[in-house]
Structure 1
Amino acid sequence: MDIDAVKSSYARWAPIYDRTFGAATRSGRTASVEFMNAEAGPEILEVGVGTGLALPLYAPGKRVTGVDYSDEMLARAAARVEAEGLTHVAGLRQMDARELDFPDASFDAVAAMHMISVVPEPERVMAEMVRVLRPGGVMVVTNHFARETGGLARIERFMAPFANVLGWHSDFDKSVVTGTPGIALRETRALPPVGMMTLLILERTPVAAAAAVG
């Protein structure tokens, strides 16, 4: 998927995102942030913050930085932060997730909710999110992942060539996330409705162990 196609797609979706995709992905956001509030350290990076739908859910003791490539989405997120007085939001920045402008090991936790299948070069995005995560830190990735069999699998494969129009990959392989060096899968949760979405909880491995694997 081309970065300009992503930006164009989300410029179109921004005015109606909360009522469409936002409504359909509510369970994933809620489960992700509940985990972050309970188990993550205070410094959190949300990659693909979008219109900021998850921001009000974080506990007051967290410090959340949100990044997104879409200016239109970020404008709506900023308006939400101001309107709701979300003082735990440390900042919102326009950024390409393939080149995160943060030093190594900057965050205790990284959240990627319903975004990894919409970005160009998702392997590169995953590597960047791992890079800015501190050893022992946690990452939550919520997404729809491709099925191997059944009617839905056939529909996903049929829709795959239209990724630039849809703004997401319908046939995204989970191994892109779980196979990323430097991070280990801790837990997999199927989410409602009917398990359409999946929550992956991952942990940053110690630097020495990551280097040995590589």
Structure 2
Amino acid sequence: MAVAYDLEGQKRAYKRWAPYYDRVYHKLLADAHAKTARAAAKAGPDILEIGVGTGLVLPWYPEGTRVIGVDLSFHMLERARDKMLSGAAPQTRLVAAMDACRLGLADESFDAVAVPFVITLVPDPEGALDEAMRVLKPGGAIVISSKLGYDTGAMAKIEEWVAPLMKKVGWSSAFRIERIKAWAEARGDVELTEIAPLFPAGWFKLMRLVKRS
């Protein structure tokens, strides 16, 4: 089935958000950003970050890593570039404009692919994850952090109860963990190794998927 892309619409939205994004999300997402960077670095030094945005995760990557960040929005990337050039993100080697589903990068180039707070916004999440797998080395890891909902259990009920409030601040429980599990099972060459709660109160999740050697 063909996927309809509104990339220009997304770019316009990101252009509006770019001047305010850091002020809104810097403190709220700091825990998630730090843990995402550390989880990616555990897989090895060469890291691709998809959806780098204004570069809020970039300063968290530990010494010795080599990070390339890509994003759809030039306006977001300008702020990520400023962090790189100012020395605030010393492990960053490059930031560049790319579509997550059409990465202009070589096969098996990275030890880890970090996907912070973007998988629920990509028009074709499975396509983006397929691209992440393409550029990932065997044994490497995809690290996803986002607002990911459960299908069943007590947490699913809590998420359903607070969904109207979360919708007002732009978050949704509509994107389910099971969707990523189904993608991994359908491929067969990637293993889900971790689902961990992130601040605040586990509302955000970190998922780690390892590409089989």
Q: Is it true that 1:185 corresponds to 2:192 in the alignment?
A: yes
Q: Shift of residue 194 of structure 1?
A: 1.1
The two structures have a TM-score, normalised by structure 1, of: 0.84
- Equivalent residues in 2 for 1:32-47, closer than 5 Å: 32-37=36-41, 39-47=42-50
Q: Is the 8 A contact 2:50 2:71 kept in 1?
A: yes
Classify the secondary structure of the residue corresponding to 2:23: coil
Classify the secondary structure of the residue corresponding to 2:38: helix
Counterpart CA distance in 2 for 1:186 and 1:197 is 17
**In the alignment, which residue of structure 2 is the partner of 1:94?**
97
Deviation string for 1:107-160 (max 9, x for gaps)? 111100111001111110011011110110111100111244425325548988
Q: Is it true that 1:79 corresponds to 2:91 in the alignment?
A: no
Judging changes above 3 Å, is the alpha-carbon distance between structure 1 residues 159 and 7 closer, same or farther for their aligned structure 2 residues? farther
**In the alignment, which residue of structure 2 is the partner of 1:131?**
134
Q: Is it true that 1:29 corresponds to 2:36 in the alignment?
A: no
Q: Is the 8 A contact 1:156 1:171 kept in 2?
A: no
User: Which runs of at least 4 in structure 1 moved beyond 3 Å after TM superposition?
Assistant: 154-160
Q: Which moved more, 1:21-30 or 1:46-55?
A: 21-30
- Candidates 18, 22, 26, aligned match of 1:18: 22
Q: Shift of residue 86 of structure 1?
A: 3.7
**In the alignment, which residue of structure 1 is the partner of 2:208?**
201
Q: Is it true that 1:145 corresponds to 2:152 in the alignment?
A: no
Deviation string for 1:155-188 (max 9, x for gaps)? 548988x9xxx5x754112233232323211111
The two structures have a TM-score, normalised by structure 2, of: 0.85
Q: Is it true that 1:172 corresponds to 2:181 in the alignment?
A: no
**In the alignment, which residue of structure 2 is the partner of 1:110?**
113
Structure 2: runs of 5 or more not aligned: none
Q: Which has the higher contact order (CA 8 A, sep 6+)?
A: 1
Q: Which moved more, 1:51-60 or 1:127-136?
A: 51-60
Q: Is it true that 1:5 corresponds to 2:5 in the alignment?
A: no
RMSD between aligned alpha carbons?
2.3
Q: Is the 8 A contact 2:149 2:175 kept in 1?
A: yes
Classify the secondary structure of the residue corresponding to 2:119: coil
Q: Which moved more, 1:28-37 or 1:189-198?
A: 28-37
Aligned-residue identity in percent? 35
Counterpart CA distance in 2 for 1:122 and 1:157 is 24
Counterpart CA distance in 2 for 1:73 and 1:159 is 24
**In the alignment, which residue of structure 2 is the partner of 1:49?**
52
**In the alignment, which residue of structure 2 is the partner of 1:211?**
none
Q: Shift of residue 27 of structure 1?
A: 1.4
